[in-house]
Amino acid sequence: MREDFLHFLWRWRRFDARNLATSDGQALEILHPGEPNPHAGPDFFNARIRLDGTLWAGNVEIHLNASDWLAHRHDADPAYDNVVLHVVLDEDQRLRRPGGELLPCLTLRERIPPQLLEKYFRLEHERAWVPCEKTFGTVPEIVRLNWLDRLLVERLEQKTESVAKVVEATGHNWEEAFYRVLARNFGLKVNMEPFEALARSLPLRLLAKHKDQLFQLEALLFGQAGLLADKFEDEYPRALAKEYGFLQHKYGLQPLSAGQWKFFRLRPAGFPTLRLAQFAAVVYRSAHLFSQVLETGSTSETEQLFSAGISEYWRTHFRFDKTAVRQPKPPGREFVHLLLINTVAPFLFHYGRAKGQPELQDRALRLLESLPPEANTVVDGWAKRGQRAANASQTQALLHLKTHYCDEKRCLECAIGNAILR
């Protein structure tokens, strides 16, 4: 048994509370269990209890064994001086305060309902795809959907933490920050890091000087990516290399290593060369993308910002000097939707919060609701278990549920897990 199960029992009073008494015989009445403390210090703040008719207000500490109090050195920590009740599974040691008086202790071992304990152990030791594999379908749909709504906001808040760091790193230059995050997401999982490094080494203000010349934008991006150092047969990459040489000298640029880019096991449509060409086309369309995102009024208009056509050479090539068997296409709708999900929505959400414009946070949520559900193994896994997603907001929530709750066995913090344990 883990200690968090005792936290669950105490917080929701899921134990036999008849004739409560402390281990030294004091009649106990729980008026309020207190508020959970996620930080250092006692587990629950501002609890209210009665001991032998006397009202006490203070904190509650929870352990599996009473001796854990000493093992964790709480006896030497002033933060625990205001603990009014010690809640334990087993009282293996009687504890006293520094003044010599007994520390009131409630033992839960014999007060846990057997059926609840059985359900807990089943969740705790289940080795299926999700711990509630066998009981997930018994949870009412309204509980699941309400929990997914909450998880979507939690996921956006988590994503905005990384957005906030980029905004801070750029001196609160929202356009530059958006450009960097967009570049990172253009690389998807495989080439995310080199794309981000490329954007940091090639500021948007520099690209903006050549915003009207797609050829120069490609020269800067491919050259800075380290992909123009070879001896090419085709005239186009040779011209790009020559142009980059001039711009490199002009701006004092130091290119990245070409070895950072990964082609292995990628479909040609996902090759970093083609993604860079697509990225150049998006920047060519507008060097003030975030401002345009703020001005767009619909999902279709926002989609169009990231659906720019690629240059002539990349209509017949996936890589330099290699003619494509199939004709490359501009970014597909699925890829554009991923950009909206992972870049636009978190940025709108964070910008709305930072600027005190909750309507932009609502717009971020509506954007996700308007996009079709994502297709990936996690979403497929949930569908097999009866939870089909209606839109991208639900797939984002399901991804968050699987990776941050199910995989980490946080069933006691999950509304679905709580419903199963009732």
Model confidence pLDDT, tens digit, residues 220-230 = 999 999 999 99
**For position 120, what pLDDT does the model report?**
94
**For position 331, what pLDDT does the model report?**
72
Indicate the residue among 370, 396, 416 that finishes a domain.
Answer: 370
Instruction: Return the ∠ at Cα 332 (arms to 329 and 338), rounded to 5°.
Output: 145
The answer on 46 and 195 residing in a single domain is: no
Question: pLDDT exceeding 90 applies to what percent of the chain?
Answer: 90
pTM of structure: 0.86
3-state secondary structure 315-377: HCEEECCEECCCCCCCCCHHHHHHHHHHHHHHHHHHHHHHCCCHHHHHHHHHHHHHCCCCCCH
160-189 core/surface letters (b: 16 or more CB in 10 A; e: else): beebeebbeebeebbbbbbbbbbbbbbbbe
Rounded Cα gap, residues 319 and 367, in angstroms? 34
Residues 348-361 have pLDDT tens digits of 999 999 999 999 99
Residue 57 CB contacts under 8 Å (≥ 6 apart), including other chains = 46, 47, 48, 84
Domain membership of residue 406 (yes or no) is no
Confidence check: pLDDT of 87 > 70: yes
Instruction: Share the mean pLDDT of the chain.
Output: 94
The answer on 156 and 21 residing in a single domain is: no
Residues 332-349 have pLDDT tens digits of 889 999 999 999 999 999
**For position 330, what pLDDT does the model report?**
66
Domain membership of residue 246 (yes or no) is yes
For residue 262, what are the domain limits? Answer: 151-370
The answer on 157 and 106 residing in a single domain is: no
Domain membership of residue 417 (yes or no) is no
Domain membership of residue 392 (yes or no) is no
Q: Return phi, psi of residue 139, to 5°.
A: -80, 130
At 118, list the tokens.
């059985």
The answer on 169 and 77 residing in a single domain is: no
Confidence check: pLDDT of 411 > 90: yes
Indicate the residue among 60, 94, 112 that finishes a domain.
Answer: 112
The answer on 169 and 102 residing in a single domain is: no
Q: Give the total number of structural domains in the chain.
A: 2
Residues 301-337 have pLDDT tens digits of 999 999 888 899 999 999 999 998 777 766 788 999 9
Domain membership of residue 49 (yes or no) is yes
The answer on 278 and 191 residing in a single domain is: yes
Residues 103-124 have pLDDT tens digits of 999 999 999 999 999 999 999 9
Cβ(421)–Cβ(117) below 8 Å: no
The answer on 47 and 175 residing in a single domain is: no
**For position 269, what pLDDT does the model report?**
87
The answer on 299 and 206 residing in a single domain is: yes
Indicate the residue among 82, 112, 142 that finishes a domain.
Answer: 112
Domain membership of residue 170 (yes or no) is yes
The answer on 199 and 88 residing in a single domain is: no
Confidence check: pLDDT of 65 > 70: yes
Confidence check: pLDDT of 275 > 80: yes
Residues 171-208 have pLDDT tens digits of 999 999 999 999 999 999 999 999 999 999 999 999 99
Domain membership of residue 121 (yes or no) is no
At 1, list the tokens.
């048994």
The answer on 231 and 168 residing in a single domain is: yes
**For position 242, what pLDDT does the model report?**
97
Residue 287: pLDDT band by 50, 70, 90 thresholds?
confident
Domain membership of residue 117 (yes or no) is no
The answer on 297 and 205 residing in a single domain is: yes
Residue 288 CB contacts under 8 Å (≥ 6 apart), including other chains = 175
**What are the C-alpha distances in Å from 312 to residues 18, 120, 317, 327?**
79, 61, 9, 11
The sign one gets for the Cα dihedral 136, 139, 142, 144 is: negative
Residues 93-105 have pLDDT tens digits of 999 988 888 999 9
363-399 core/surface letters (b: 16 or more CB in 10 A; e: else): bbbebbeebebbeeebbeebeeeebebeebbbbbbbb
The answer on 236 and 107 residing in a single domain is: no
